Amino acid sequence: MRFGSVARFGVVGLMWGISYFWIKVVFQGLNPAQFSFFRILVGAVAMLGVLLFSSTRLPRRPAVWGQLVFIAFLANALPVLLVELVDDALGADAGMVSVFNASVPLCVVALYLVRRHTGRIPATLVAGLLVGFAGVLVLYAPWNAGAQWLSAAAAVNAVAALAYGWSMLLMEKLMKPAAEDGQDMHPLVLATSQAVIGVGWAAINLPNGGFDRAPQFSAAVIGALLVLGILNTGLVYMCFAQLIRDEGAAKASSVLYVVPVVLTLGMVLLENYQLTGREVLGMAIIGAGVVLARIPQHGAPTPTPAGAGGVRPVRSAAEPTSAAH
């Protein structure tokens, strides 16, 4: 297992996991619509600056931009639209929402199986993702949600998870080696283009509450916004794209299991949260699942989905289930 991949995996899991604490700071001065717009705007400006000093350039072909817009729609715009249709989608039981976020890797595997033979996905990878998901179930005890599993909020979160998983497959397709079909895309270009397109999606949503009150920019709010925009939305997302290109969407998506572990431990350290035995067991199971999923597969081919529906020839957060990290 290469050190670079392990380092990127750790950075993505850590930064996305602690984003909750930065978001709490930002919400002291911005409402959700304003936060979404300014975060992605800061990320886009930062990534364009990085791109300017690199040897890569944004794509020129309209067809490629069409694919990128569709990826951004699946990962960013669609979840927002669904939440607007169901008022209590974000207010649903936190455990249930977290379980749907953690179901994204399984959605990726399911979409792989729809497009390819099962033998192309290592058994240890699938087993690891299942064990990791079981750990999330133990950590959050979603059975406490009861009838909410049959609600419209549950349906919204399920569709958002599936859409985010689909977007990862399209990212993998778009970044696959040029030797296979004559085109590829560097993770820096993908991350920058997604940030640029994301500004447009966020601007469209800005009238939905973004003008309810004036933003309050304190030093703390600006600092948190810079961390979330430059790091999580820009550079960390680029690391995630690199993981997808190097390891495939299914294996890279296992980083989403690290997020709730980092979040829970952060609550213990920063908010004096008291862990229960069940939560400790859940995190241990998640850790075992991640290790199992990331066991190196010598000689095993990386699954490459066929052009998955919709747009061709291509292809998730926040970042988990929205790019809120």
For 105, 253, 254, the CA distances from 286, given in Å and listed in that order, are 13, 13, 10
pLDDT in tens, 258-289: 999 999 999 999 988 999 999 999 999 999 99
Asked whether residue 54 is domain-assigned, the answer is yes
Predicted local confidence at residue 149, as pLDDT: 63
| 14 inside domain | yes
CB distance 172 to 304 below 8 Å: yes
Query: Domain limits at 57?
Result: 3-293
> Quick one: pLDDT at residue 48?
94
Query: Around Cβ 130, how many Cβ atoms within 10 Å?
Result: 16
Residue 245: what pLDDT? 92
- Domain membership of residue 321 (yes or no) is no
Q: What is the pLDDT of residue 265?
A: 93
Q: How many CB atoms lie within 10 A of CB 157?
A: 26
Tell me, yes or no, whether 114 lies in a domain.
yes
Cα radius of gyration rounded to whole Å, the chain: 19
Flag residues of the chain having pLDDT under 70: 1, 83-95, 116-119, 145-150, 177-183, 297-325
- Alpha-helical (H) ranges within 53-122 are 62-72, 78-85, 94-102, 104-115
Is residue 324 in some structural domain? no
Is 23 part of a structural domain of the chain?
yes
**Quick one: pLDDT at residue 98?**
78
Its pTM stands at 0.84
Instruction: Name the nearest CA neighbour of 281 among 139, 143, 140.
Output: 139
With respect to residue 224, please indicate whether it lies within any of the assigned structural domains. Answer: yes
Residue 218: which region, alpha, beta or left (left: phi > 0; alpha: psi -120 to 50)?
beta
Buried b (16+ CB within 10 A) or exposed e, 260-273: bbbbbebeeeeeee
State the pLDDT at residue 308.
37
Total domains in the chain come to: 1
Give a yes or no: residue 307 inside a domain: no
